[in-house]
Amino acid sequence: MFDKPVKVLQIFLPLFALILCFSQVSCVVYPELVEKGLKSPKSERCGDCHRDIYAEWKESPHASSFINSAFREETNEYQFAFCIGCHAPETIFTSEKIEPRGVNREEGVNCSSCHLNDCKLSGPTPAHGPHPITEKNLFYRTSELCGKCHVGTFKTWQESGAAEGRKTCQDCHMPAIKRKLIQDDPWQKIYPKRDGKQHLFSSGTLFHGNENLLKLSFIQVTRSEGKIEGVLELENTGVPHSIPTGDYGYREVVVTVALLDKAGRIADLIRESLFVELKTALPYKGKKCIPFCFRRSENSFVIKATMVRTSFHKDRNVLLAETTRNL
Ligand code: HEC
Ligand code: HEC
Ligand code: HEC
Ligand code: HEC
Ligand code: HEC
């Protein structure tokens, strides 16, 4: 008995979608989503439909680029207007300086910052939706987009050469995923899965299965009476910018070589830091040698090297690479 209405719905929904897709009507359904200035929508609103992307972005550094404590301190509680453009922008699509948003600044680099382009929401996929869209905009697949704000990193990426085969920022910092662009019911049923990108903007996920981006190796290790000597060689084999990279904030990567005993306790340790400011960062294809010499005892068991991205207070640490050698 309920068969009929269900059938009607099954035909009606795709039909309605088709009408939406191919008519200009779609452009006026949600005009508030492309407002600028004081009416600029919150990203939460985008999250009503683009649930997965919203959840990823919310956890990303872009979502906290305005409220994070380092930014607050360095701008003396938002006194320097010049700084706000990149940290809470209205839109990156401007030929002049990026202007700060008038509202929702606490959202930092939000959805509109990157997607509001000339009164439409633009993106790289062949999407059709209920709000104004510029589809197949391939600028989104280029590093230039990120370079609007990541000026220094973009410059070193450009200089890294190998132009054609070179990976873009998105290839590494926005992992590919096949999924629907929206997750809300029931509308998502009529949209196909597309080649999308996770909005993580982090490097944390890069090291699973991608070990050859950074290489740590022990060379010339010798054991003599009471001594273990050798050299740790670091090589940036695959990251087309320096490690660490960036123009602002605190940028330190700590390299350690430790001598461990059988119980895994540290018997001896050396440490060296790589900084952007001090020009000790490891450039693309660059190598660096760190010699070490430890006193050896009965208990000496293994040498272990790590490379860790750290924060000013040493409270946020990301392991970038590690290696061990048994003695
Ligand atoms: C509108 C300016 C802007 C654009 C465009 C932009 N970013 Fe960012 N990005 C920032 C700001 C500001 C931060 C600092 C956030 C923080 O740590 O508080 C940041 C942080 C990051 C970080 C984390 C850095 C760290 O120290 O952990 C990564 C990775 C990143 N962005 C990647 C990208 C990629 C990839 C793109 C292009 C798809 C991009 N960004 C586009 C402004 C931008
Ligand atoms: C009412 C639900 C809804 C809301 C709210 C919404 N969107 Fe969409 N959006 C869609 C649908 C549906 C599509 C098309 C999906 C498809 O074709 O696979 C779409 C497509 C897009 C695209 C096109 C991607 C491309 O590659 O062409 C972008 C970009 C986008 N939305 C961004 C946003 C932003 C930013 C917001 C918030 C300001 C937002 N959307 C709010 C439903 C919504
Ligand atoms: C081949 C993969 C790859 C590509 C391409 C790439 N990155 Fe990275 N990026 C990494 C890795 C791995 C790290 C982690 C090392 C680190 O944190 O210093 C990183 C770190 C970063 C950081 C954090 C800085 C820091 O010191 O932690 C930023 C910001 C960044 N990348 C931006 C970019 C931008 C912008 C582009 C494009 C111009 C880009 N990346 C291209 C792999 C890549
Ligand atoms: C820092 C810039 C930036 C921010 C912030 C951002 N995006 Fe994107 N977005 C991109 C880029 C770049 C792509 C295309 C990546 C590619 O295809 O290589 C993209 C792709 C998309 C797409 C097309 C499908 C896909 O997954 O590739 C949609 C839809 C979308 N974004 C919605 C959103 C929404 C919603 C938000 C806020 C929750 C958001 N974006 C925040 C840069 C951004
Ligand atoms: C051209 C765009 C741009 C401008 C202008 C800008 N920033 Fe940033 N800021 C970034 C980007 C991109 C990052 C991410 C790391 C990097 O590449 O340096 C960042 C990161 C930071 C961080 C690190 C946040 C963290 O989580 O560790 C601080 C602090 C910061 N900026 C302060 C400032 C101050 C202060 C000003 C003004 C003097 C300023 N920024 C102006 C783009 C900008």
Whether residue 88 contacts residue 100, with contact meaning beta carbons closer than 8 Å, is answered with: yes
Distances (CA, A) of 291 to 83, 132, 273: 41, 59, 14
Question: Which atom belonging to ligand 4 lies closest to the Cα atom of 201?
Answer: 1
- E-strand ranges in 159-251 read 176-179, 194-197, 214-224, 227-236
Distance 206 CA to ligand 3 centre (A): 10
Q: What is the pLDDT of residue 21?
A: 47
State which residues of the chain have pLDDT below 50.
Answer: 1-3, 18, 21-27
Distance 176 CA to ligand 5 centre (A): 26
Q: What is the pLDDT of residue 27?
A: 43
276 pocket-lining for ligand 1 (C-beta < 6 Å):
no
3-state secondary structure of 85: helix
Q: What is the pLDDT of residue 204?
A: 66
Distance 246 CA to ligand 3 centre (A): 9
Domains (ranges, CATH) in the chain?
3-202 (no CATH), 207-326 (2.60.40.10)
Q: What is the pLDDT of residue 297?
A: 84
Q: What is the pLDDT of residue 290?
A: 97
Whether residue 66 contacts residue 89, with contact meaning beta carbons closer than 8 Å, is answered with: no
- Tokens matching residue 224: 């003599």
Q: What is the pLDDT of residue 271?
A: 97
Pocket-testing residue among 201, 243, 253, ligand 1, by greatest number of atoms within 8 A of Cβ: 201
Whether residue 251 contacts residue 245, with contact meaning beta carbons closer than 8 Å, is answered with: yes
Residue nearest to atom 31 of ligand 1 (CA): 201
- Distance CA(199)–CA(61), nearest Å, equals 10
Q: What is the pLDDT of residue 42?
A: 98
Global pTM value = 0.92
Ligand 5 environment, Cβ below 6 A: 68, 70-71, 74-75, 80, 82-83, 85-87, 149-151, 153, 246-250
Q: What is the pLDDT of residue 81?
A: 87
Q: What is the pLDDT of residue 164?
A: 62
